[in-house]
Amino acid sequence: MSNLKLTILKKWEFDNEFFFVCASILLPDGTVVILTSDHTDWHKYYALVLSTEGVKKISIEYTPMSNRDYPVLFRYKEGFGIIISAKEVRYYSDMHSSPEIIPIKNKSLLRYNIVPEKAQQRYFQNISDSQTIPVCFENEVYYGNARSFALLEFDDIAKTAKWKTFSCIDKKAFTYRDNRTTDTPKIDSLKISDKRIYAFIPGESSSSVNKWGMDYYALVQISAEGKVIEKIIESDNLHTDHKKHGVNGCFTDSEYVILTPLFKTDDWKGKQKVFSLTTREYCDITLPKGMAKHKLENITGELCLTSLFDSGLKEVSLCNYINI
């Protein structure tokens, strides 16, 4: 098994002002943008722009439509956007100007809503190399998970944004699905690359993962309608013994998917790995000395991003890496 060996380039320190990294992007010039929330008020969100100039804190002001109405961060060209309540995009073409406010159209040709009115967007990390942005949603049942997804068509030149589809992932493709319920698979993260849509599935059970572990996990390629085209990874049934198992997946701006085990008692001993969509192989991760507690958040080009959480966000580090 190969190994990603990280070397630190720059570190930003925080004093528990913020909670944790909800999502992140790495821009080509090494600028980092992080979506996070206030440490004491989890409903107050910020975009932190980290660069050689320091830290710029952008307060994301809006009136939530519900208790779990989260903003969504996405990378687009040389800038980034923030989706608010599935109704508008705030697009930052550079780090020094105010955002353009672009309303999102949500009507089909038959004049019905594509994204249901009560659907709640989730801030889970999304990656795209095109004008189509995949976004996680929860609809009808609201536990803070995501069991639906939508595709947003965004054009900064034409200043347009519109929802194109809203779907769930078809559970019939998964070996260890629970046919006793209608629960559809949960979604950790989404990616569009070369017109292919990928999703990481942390099982489908609605029971407490912390208490019982996951039922299964999978990495799949799907269609815009949620049909599973290819199962790239599919775990065994994780409820066959008395141990708790589970892995979360997060897509990056690279070929790699970051895999994070939920429990230190599993085969990976709680250590993250990455999986290459190109080679279909796993890689270990070697963090820099003194950064053993850091968590890998994103990768692009030869750069990667880590964070340290200790009762709040303590550090964010920009590293480069080599594959050995």
Residue of 286 and 206 predicted with greater confidence:
286
Mean pLDDT of the region 139-156: 89
Residue-wise pLDDT for 46-105, tens only, equals 999 999 888 999 999 999 888 788 999 999 988 999 999 999 999 999 877 789 999 999
Instruction: Answer for the pair 185, 175: CB distance below 8 angstroms, yes or no.
Output: no
Averaged pLDDT score across all residues of the chain? 92
> Which of these, 139, 162, 140, lies nearest to 152 by C-alpha position?
162
Residue 207, number of CB atoms within 10 A of its CB: 12
Question: Over 90: is that where the pLDDT of 34 sits?
Answer: yes
Q: What are phi and psi for residue 226, nearest 5 degrees? A: 95, 5
What contacts 289, CB < 8 A, 6 or more positions away? none
Residue-wise pLDDT for 116-133, tens only, equals 999 999 999 999 999 999
Question: Over 70: is that where the pLDDT of 142 sits?
Answer: no
Confidence (pTM): 0.95
Mean pLDDT of the region 227-237: 95
CA 262 to chain centre: 16
Question: Over 90: is that where the pLDDT of 180 sits?
Answer: no
Q: 92 pairs with which residues across the strands? A: 80
CA 134, CA 191: separation in Å to the nearest integer? Answer: 7
* Percent of the residues in the chain that have a pLDDT greater than 90, as a whole number: 71
Q: What does the pLDDT read at residue 108?
A: 80
Question: Over 90: is that where the pLDDT of 28 sits?
Answer: no
Question: Over 80: is that where the pLDDT of 177 sits?
Answer: yes
- Alpha carbon distance, N-terminus to C-terminus of the chain: 9
Burial 131-150 (b: 16+ CB within 10 A, else e): bbbbbbbbbeeeeebbbbbb
Question: Over 90: is that where the pLDDT of 206 sits?
Answer: no
Q: What does the pLDDT read at residue 245?
A: 87
Residue of 209 and 322 predicted with greater confidence:
322
Mean pLDDT of the region 272-298: 95
Mean pLDDT of the region 176-203: 94
Residue 221, number of CB atoms within 10 A of its CB: 17
